[in-house]
Amino acid sequence: MTEDIKKGLLGIVVDETEVSKVMPEINSLTYRGYAAQDLCAKCKFEEVAYLILNGELPSEKQLKNFEKVERKERNLSKTLLESIKNFPKKSHPMDVARTAVSIMGLEDKETKDNSPEANLRKVMRIFAKTPVALAAFYRIRKGKKIIKPKNNLTFSENFFYMCFGKVPEKEIVKAFDVSLILYAEHSFNVSTFTARTITSSLSDIHGAITGAIASLKGPLHGGANEEVMHMMNKIKKPENALNWINNALDQKTVVMGFGHRVYKSGDSRVPTMREYFSKVAKVKKDKKFEKIYDIVEKVMIERKNIHPNVDYPTGPTYHLMGFDTDFFTPIFVISRITGWSAHILEQHAANKLIRPLASYKGNSYRKVVPINQR
């Protein structure tokens, strides 16, 4: 009898969630019922992080308290800081993020406590410390002095400050904040499902987030924003774009930043991010990448009917902001920690061990031949 195999769990609904949904009736990704683009227009990232973690938008008082905790937790332990200083300079920052969260798990006094209260406290520590760890590595590998976090700066402002020593123009900070809002959560994507799978054995939150970071690193998932930039660098100038993309498609190349398992006629986050990409390009007085972007997108839609996903506009936007290409996916991490954590809490609240079946295609039964007779 042939078994019905759903490779890649394509189209399979494995659980329920209250965190987010792509709502076709408004053609938008929604977090706890709010459209992502509405949140981008009216909120800062911290409000959305609160919403994802707690289920409701915060009052002014609740936000103040949330920010107070996040800012208080920004400092790294001496051990973690010394470890980062000793990491090989050529390490990929995603591996740095993964290892840093793992070290945080060694140090956290509540690692074993999976109660919702303890998990929320641990989330705040991971959420606050991961950007600080990444920025420290950003500086160290360039031979620069580490910049300590500043408690009067927002989450986004502080990340720029710790990486570059200054906070950029407000349009740049807003565009970064918007990118974090758009990256924060996307239901049962690979990394979130990884986090939920790890959690389903009643393992701890540091382990689940460590696993999720490893999953996000891959170029078919979060790693695509870095690949988009590599592609744009290969194209070099707008005049080359048409030939490049046509050749790539003739050779059946997978074009990074395009396609999606869920969206088949366009990722609802793209128009918002495209708008902010344009704003950043204007501030930076550099339209080259926008021109390349538009040409590649047009050909992908005309020839393949494949639309861009959110990683397509974020790649060149982060480049224009001045970040090294291998920091693009770590930026995705510092935002998605919120979505992962909400799902980890949800998994704990109504847990069922995740354990699918496989259709066995190996050898039929056979006897072991002792080693001296093989």
Taking the least distance from each CB to ligand SDX, the nearer of 123 and 224 is 224
The set of residues, in sequence order, having a beta carbon less than 8 Å from that of 193 and lying 6+ positions away, is: 14
- Specify whether 260 is catalytic: yes
Rounded distance between C-alpha atoms, residue 190 and residue 212, angstroms: 8
The sheet with strand 28-31 has its strands ordered as 20-23, 28-31, 34-35
Task: Find the part of the chain contacting ligand SDX (CB under 6 A) among 35-43, 144-152, 215-223, 270-278.
Answer: 215-223
Judged by CB under 6 A, does residue 259 bind ligand SDX? yes
- Specify whether 95 is catalytic: no
Taking the least distance from each CB to ligand SDX, the nearer of 128 and 182 is 182
Residue of 186, 221, 307, 348 with catalytic role = 221
Provide the minimum distance between the beta carbon of 325 and ligand SDX in the complex, in angstroms, as a whole number: 15
Provide the minimum distance between the beta carbon of 189 and ligand SDX in the complex, in angstroms, as a whole number: 3
Rounded distance between C-alpha atoms, residue 33 and residue 57, angstroms: 11
Rounded-to-10 torsion of CA 309, 15, 353, 260: -10
Collapsing DSSP to helix, strand or coil, 260 comes out as: coil
Judged by CB under 6 A, does residue 196 bind ligand SDX? no
Judged by CB under 6 A, does residue 309 bind ligand SDX? yes
Provide the minimum distance between the beta carbon of 241 and ligand SDX in the complex, in angstroms, as a whole number: 15
- Specify whether 221 is catalytic: yes
Provide the minimum distance between the beta carbon of 373 and ligand SDX in the complex, in angstroms, as a whole number: 46
Judged by CB under 6 A, does residue 210 bind ligand SDX? no
Rounded distance between C-alpha atoms, residue 275 and residue 184, angstroms: 18
CB 165 within 8 A of CB 182: no
| CB atoms inside a 10 Å sphere around CB 373 | 5
Judged by CB under 6 A, does residue 261 bind ligand SDX? yes
Binding mask 7-46 for ligand SDX (x = CB under 6 A): -x--------------------------------------
CA atoms within 13 A on the CB side of 26: 14
Q: Count residues binding ligand SDX (CB under 6 A).
A: 21
Please identify which residue in 254, 271, 282, 298 interacts with ligand SDX, judged by CB under 6 A: 254
Judged by CB under 6 A, does residue 256 bind ligand SDX? yes
Residue of 311, 319, 343, 348 with catalytic role = 311
The closest alpha carbon to 191, from 339, 28, 50, 330, belongs to 339
Rounded distance between C-alpha atoms, residue 277 and residue 316, angstroms: 8
Judged by CB under 6 A, does residue 189 bind ligand SDX? yes
Taking the least distance from each CB to ligand SDX, the nearer of 53 and 140 is 53
34-35 and 28-31 beta bridge pairing: antiparallel
Taking the least distance from each CB to ligand SDX, the nearer of 76 and 241 is 241
Q: How far is CA 177 from CA 49, 118, 170, 206, in A?
A: 11, 27, 10, 25
Task: Find the part of the chain contacting ligand SDX (CB under 6 A) among 84-92, 107-115, 206-214, 218-226.
Answer: 218-226
CA dihedral sign of residues 16, 18, 24, 30: negative
Rounded distance between C-alpha atoms, residue 169 and residue 147, angstroms: 19
Judged by CB under 6 A, does residue 224 bind ligand SDX? yes
Judged by CB under 6 A, does residue 241 bind ligand SDX? no
Task: Find the part of the chain contacting ligand SDX (CB under 6 A) among 58-66, 88-96, 111-119, 307-315.
Answer: 307-315
| CB atoms inside a 10 Å sphere around CB 138 | 23
Judged by CB under 6 A, does residue 258 bind ligand SDX? yes
Paired with 22 in beta bridges are 29
Binding site for ligand SDX (CB under 6 A): 8, 186, 189, 220-222, 224, 254-262, 304, 306, 309-311
Catalytic amino acids?
221, 260, 311
